Chains A and B, each alone.
Chain A
Amino acid sequence: MAGLIDGLSWLALLGGVFFVIVGGVGLLRLPDFYTRLHAAGITDTMGAGLILLGLMLQGGWTLVSAKLLLILLFLWFTSPTATHALVKAALSDPENPRPLLHEDAPPSKS
């Protein structure tokens, strides 16, 4: 049983590191600001979620796991809020390049 929990914790931690690195590479490589926000969101939801889940499996039913759960809930509430505020500020700045909106796209031939 302990070995099973350890294995699941391993898997969660490694999956979390995978998502964190994917988010980091996307943060560096994607072409414009609004697509980079998408990469940052991957890190904040899947990466943080899986890593904290792996740590919770290590901690067991203790106060430490409760604190980890609090951190996770807090990250999941604040990260979309911060991203929303960031996009609102970026869109209201006239010097900032606007994203390619649906109306700007050439008409599709359907």
Chain B
Amino acid sequence: MFAATACGILACMVLAMARALMGPTVYDRIMAVNAFGTKTVLIIAVLGFMSGRPDFMDIALVYALINFIGTIAVLKFIRYGDMGWPRNVPDEPDDL
């Protein structure tokens, strides 16, 4: 049962990877990588049950967190061109 579920998720990961490789815009690629990460969380959980070691849930939880943070960070980088470092305020008084 778990093997069938894992195979289905793996097939879908292949589809998401294909979209990430051929996506016309950068936003398609980010979306595909985000979906890929969600499926990675699912497959880590299923593999933990399949191998009889449900301790893998911690790894899945951390992976879900990192996936979200990574997506937001990449989006911010695409949108603003940097990661939002604190500005040198006295050099740019007009931006206040």
The answer to whether B15 touches A28 (Cβ under 8 A) is yes
What 1/0 mask marks residues of chain B from 19 to 40 whose CB sits below 8 Å from any chain A CB?
A: 1000011011011101100110
Interface size class on chain A is 35 or more
Interface size class on chain B is 35 or more
What 1/0 mask marks residues of chain B from 41 to 72 whose CB sits below 8 Å from any chain A CB?
A: 11001100100001001101100110110011
The answer to whether A48 touches B41 (Cβ under 8 A) is yes
The answer to whether B11 touches A24 (Cβ under 8 A) is yes
Contact A71:B64 (CB < 8 A) given known A27-B15, A27-B16, A64-B54: yes
The answer to whether B28 touches A33 (Cβ under 8 A) is yes
Which residue of the partner chain B has the closest CB to A91?
A: B27
A78 CB to nearest B CB, Å? 4
Q: Name 13 A/B residue pairs within 8 A (Cβ), A-sorted.
A: A10-B1, A24-B14, A43-B38, A62-B54, A64-B57, A71-B41, A71-B64, A74-B64, A78-B67, A79-B38, A82-B68, A83-B31, A93-B79
Chain A residues within CB distance 8 Å of chain B? 9-10, 13-14, 16-17, 20-21, 23-25, 27-28, 33, 36-37, 40, 43-44, 47-48, 51-52, 54-55, 58-59, 62, 64, 67-68, 70-71, 74-75, 78-79, 81-83, 85-86, 89-90, 92-93, 96-97
Chain B residues within CB distance 8 Å of chain A? 1-2, 4-5, 8-9, 11-16, 18-19, 24-25, 27-28, 30-32, 34-35, 38-39, 41-42, 45-46, 49, 54, 57-58, 60-61, 64-65, 67-68, 71-72, 75, 78-79
